[in-house]
Amino acid sequence: MASALLACSACGAATDQGSGEAETLKTPLGLSSTLPIYWQESADFATILKEESEPGWVRQSLETRFELVPLDVLSAEALAPLDHLLLAQPRALSAAENVALDNWVRAGGQLLLFADPMLTSHSQFSIGDPRRPQDVALLSPILARWGLELTFDTAQPQGKRREEAFGMAVPVDLAGAFVPLASEAAGECAIAPSGIVARCRIGEGQVTLLADAALLDGEDDPDLPRRRAVLDELVDESLSL
């Protein structure tokens, strides 16, 4: 599936034969996520392809500026054409993927990463179903490589709230917090006092990390306009064009 999707990643840049004018080229943005961002949740892939409903708000927001490139595997070959990458509650990465991702960032890649230690987003699939989003972020190896640990306070208040981070009021729900780790390969990281956001310079690249994914929840939140604004600000600051 990845090869077919990658092959279509430049479809929007094709020349319009009727008018003779080329559409505006958009910057490719790699996307790897277990959340229903590119595809809506559905029991089978055939149903997804038949659905005529509009994509979710996160995809719509991203596609105003980027040509999304869904990635099944974070290999050196898949990452090589990209300068920008979004990981949103991805599945656990293999050792080879951790190496490829680290090398890509250190070579100048820009990454926006959502790593939620206790996902609160609703899913129609039960726990244990492989189609269900990753309930707990399993990214300790790459986080430790960059000098970070993702922690979770079980005594924190339940329910949606906002945490201040670098001038942003980030909506969270059962959020984690980043704490620094000593590491020879660690980057230079600034961590918000709340721990919800970390910004790291890793080699020639940069990584912005959020310890929660509630910002990316669905369409039924009356606070959606503000969540859109926060996502736009995060994208502007972490995925500079």
Could you give the 3-state DSSP secondary structure of residue 78? Answer: helix
> Domain of 98: which CATH number?
3.40.50.880
Q: pLDDT over 70 for what percent of the chain? A: 80
Residue 17 forms part of a structural domain:
no
**Is the residue at 12 inside a domain?**
no
Residue 3 lies in a domain: no
Segment 149-177 mean pLDDT: 94
User: pTM of the entire structure?
Assistant: 0.84
- 21: in domain: no
Q: Which residues pair with 236 in a beta bridge?
A: none
Domain count of the fold of the chain? 1
Residue 40 lies in a domain: yes
Does any domain span residue 142?
Answer: yes
Cα atoms found within 13 Å of the Cα of residue 211, Cβ hemisphere only? 27
Domain that holds residue 184: 26-238
| Residue 215 belongs to some domain of the structure | yes
| Residue that wins the pLDDT comparison between 16 and 52 | 52
Query: What pLDDT, on a 0 to 100 scale, did the predictor assign at position 113?
Result: 98
Residue 180 lies in a domain: yes
**Distance in angstroms (rounded) separating the CA atoms of residues 165 and 212:** 13
